[in-house]
Amino acid sequence: MKKTLSFADSEITEALRSRLFYPVKPPSLPCSSCGAIVAFQHEDTCKGAARRWIARHDTVVRAFYRALASEPTLEVQKEPLVDKATSLRADIAVTIGNSRYFYDIQIVAIAKDSARSDPYETLREAAEEKRRKYRALGAFFQPIIISSGGLMELETAKTYPTEGPIGGRSPLEAQHQQAIAPIVEKGSIKKLLTFSKVPIPEKKLYARHARAFAIAASKAAEAFCKKPTEKALLSFLLLPRVLGLGLQKGANIPTLEDLETFLGQQKPPTLQKNPPKVANPAQRAVKLLERGFLGRASRTLIDPVPIAPNTEANRAILLEKHPIGPEKPFQRKTYPRPGQPVTEATVVKAITSIGKEKAPGLSGWTRPLLDLVIRGDSPEWPLKDLQLEGLPVLGTYIGPIAGRRSFLAGKLATLEGALTALKDLPKQHSLLLLRGSIQLLLRHLQRQLCPIGLDDLGSPPTAPIAIEGPTAKEVLIEANKARLETFLQDLPTLYQQARLENASYLGRKWLGVLPMKKTLSFADSEITEALRSRLFYPVKPPSLPCSSCGAIVAFQHEDTCKGAARRWIARHDTVVRAFYRALASEPTLEVQKEPLVDKATSLRADIAVTIGNSRYFYDIQIVAIAKDSARSDPYETLREAAEEKRRKYRALGAFFQPIIISSGGLMELETAKTYRKLQDLVGPVAAAQLDSSIALALTRTRAISAASISKEAPRGIASSLWNPSRRDP
């Protein structure tokens, strides 16, 4: 960036030589300057070489002087007189308050003949020699000892660059308060600070709350863009806190709809927080998991390091790592030219670069809340187009071999041109570009681009040495595929049906649900039963009769046992309620529960949805595909249930659609198409909540039925297998 910060090519070459442990000359040749044998780092001690040791010392002293003199609160002097009788001088003196501190700098060659084998010992001896020389100064003197390669003596490392007198400043807290005092006196900042006591919503919002929040944020942002005043900006910044306040009071949506009036009438809240309790790693992981931070929860268990307390010692460490800059870094008035206008796409791109787990600022805008506001439609490409034409995305290419070959050839040509261009650049610039950019681009290609059919592009074509055999990975894939086919052929019908349910869209959804609310949490016994079903274990040994109905306990008997603790009606009502809430969250839809279909027979459907001028009816049924009358093909069983529903509601014609789901989550084929259309209709947030609610209702009902059948098992044995620290009551 400056001429003083640039290296000559020969200097870069010598610096890299030293890092790669290459001597200046072969060890068998004598030094042409002093005649001695050329050992490694001989250049640091050779008396006949072009030595610039005095210039090096003066440059380092000048660097310290400029750094210290840039701080207006410090009084700095070069070469201060220490002893008038002997004319002894130090390199630098710094006056802080009523105290004056002296520093003397020395560059030491740790490869000299008299050096110790431990370089820190060599540097320590040099520091002791300095202290003896300036012993008259006592505690007001500090030597700065650095090796010719940059290694600092231990006490020097503590002194450099901020700790102790050399970086001494007024207390951090006082400086902070002094800097922000004029700012916090503003009325808008006072209001922002007062509202900061309101807790930010950390758990996932209901779809209707999320939609209301997004609409309110859009209105607040639009008001600020039309008239960018401090008041309009404050309304936008306070929105997350207002959301938290509305959720606490149970009046969230009215509060958000009338945001400006609410802020004008609302007295600043004075919520008192309880003192934080110290939690163990497991408790912290649970809390993080309930907030949706899966990665942070995992790291808490792997590396259970607690948050550092706010102590003076820790603040001093932070100050050393992040020193306070000068009070007025820009002394001159500058008149920069206006840059490019900031577009909406640029702002959205900047927001998406923020980490999802990053803590919010004073306003409370977390990344999940920002995502609710900036979420737009993602670009979509038909699979047919991807298979035929391909798509370049994220620095790689998805598609056929011809497209990938063309993409890779172009990338390689570009990178080869860049590598060729590096030869004409100064070596410092070449090294920076090679390490910081080009090699990363090449590595990304190797990691992400499918290599099949591209072998000849990655290396010069050569004749094969021998016929290539399959790789170990390919052999294992084929072997596992054959084992799976053999296993499936011998699998009983009930187990094949269970496998279809476990692999279905809703059947596997419960595995990924985060326990962010009580309604999204499983008891240990429910998890045990759900895993038992996935592992093809019956509730009881097949040789024993059911203790509830007396029948032989076949696999998935809990779905059909009439004596078990059945919650089939509650399960049906829960699923209906989930559909109703998801559809009602969309303001353009008019939704009704249990609409009347036939007044004469009092026939009702579960849900009716009005879209435009059309009204559609839906009736939901949960089917046990393991029942005695079921077909061997579960899709056939579900299709028969759907046909029965259509006959029942045949008066509605095309305006009726049955929703048929098995007790394990497998959807009838037409139901799956209808379900996808409803997901598109309500949006991604409501669709995700609908998936979770249905999956949890199905899994929980089956688990409760299974637990009631196996109630004769010893208490707590199931949970003890999975979690020894917890027991069922």
How many C-alpha atoms does 175 have within 13 Å on its Cβ side?
13
Residues 6+ apart with CB under 8 A from 726: 524, 719
102 DSSP β-pair partners? 93, 141
Angle at the Cα of 530 from the Cα atoms of 529 and 531, rounded to 5 degrees: 90
CA 18 to chain centre: 39
| Max CA separation in the chain (angstroms) | 121
Q: How far is CA 368 from CA 217, 228, 239, 246, in A?
A: 13, 25, 14, 18
- The CA-to-CA distance between both ends of the chain, in Å, stands at 69
User: Distance of CA 257 to CAs 140, 386, 586, Å?
Assistant: 65, 43, 16
Q: Which of 226, 355, 357, 207 is nearest to 293 (CA)?
A: 357
Q: Is 634 exposed, middle or buried (0-12, 13-18, 19+ CB in 10 A)?
A: buried
Calculate the CA 682 to chain-centre distance. Answer: 27
Tokens of 90: 């130090």
Residue in the block written with tokens 């070489």: 49
Residue 596, burial from CB neighbour count under 10 angstroms (0-12, 13-18, 19+): exposed
Residue 488: predicted pLDDT: 80
| CA–CA dist 63, 43 (Å, integer) | 24
Q: Please give the torsion angle defined by the CA atoms of residues 559, 560, 561 and 564, in that order, rounded to the nearest 10 degrees.
A: 40
Measuring CA to CA, which residue among 350, 351, 378 is closest to residue 367?
351
620 — alpha (psi -120 to 50), left (phi > 0) or beta? beta
The token duo for 262 is 């609410």
Give the separation between CA 504 and CA 68, rounded to whole angstroms.
Answer: 68
Q: Give this prediction's pTM.
A: 0.47
Q: What are the tokens at 621?
A: 């049924």
Q: Which domains does the chain have, with CATH numbers?
A: 3-44 (no CATH), 53-167 (3.90.1570), 170-273+343-374 (no CATH), 383-458 (no CATH), 491-729 (no CATH)
Beta-strand (E) ranges in 154-261?
A: none
Radius of gyration of the chain (CA): 37
Phi (first) and psi of residue 140, to 5 degrees: -90, 10
DSSP secondary structure code for residue 511 in this structure: G
Strands 81-83 and 391-393: unpaired
Tell me whether the omega of the peptide bond preceding residue 161 falls within 30 degrees of 0, making it cis: yes
- Output DSSP code: residue 116: -
Entry field: residues in the chain: 729
* Region label for 610, one of left (φ > 0), alpha (ψ between -120 and 50) or beta (otherwise): beta
How would you write 12-69 as a 3-class SS string? HHHHHHHHCCCCCCCCCCECCCCCCECCCCHHHCCCCCCCCHHHHHHHHHHHHHHHHH
Helices (H), 267-365: 281-290, 294-302, 312-321, 344-352
Q: Do 426 and 6 contact (CB within 8 A), yes or no?
A: yes
pLDDT digits (tens, 9 = 90+) for 461-510: 555 555 567 777 788 888 988 988 888 888 888 888 888 888 899 988 88
All residues at 6 or more sequence positions from 404 whose CB lies less than 8 Å from its CB, including other chains: 390, 397, 449, 450, 453, 454
Instruction: Enter the DSSP assignment of 563.
Output: T
Alpha helix positions (H), 92-170: 119-133, 154-159
Which token pair is 6?
């640039």
DSSP letter at 204 equals P
**Nearest Cα residue to 682 out of 604, 595, 607:** 607
CA distance 449 to 393: 11
Question: What is the CB neighbour count within 10 angstroms for residue 169?
Answer: 15
Residue 262: its pLDDT value, please?
57
Contact status, residue 598 vs residue 617, Cβ threshold 8 Å: no
Name residues of the chain where pLDDT drops below 70: 1-2, 49-51, 97, 160-178, 249-307, 326-339, 356-357, 376-379, 422, 424-433, 435-436, 458-468, 565, 711-729
String of DSSP letters for 362-425? TT---HHHHHHHH--PPP---HHHHHHT-EEETTEEES-HHHHHHHHHHHHHHHHHHHHHHTTS
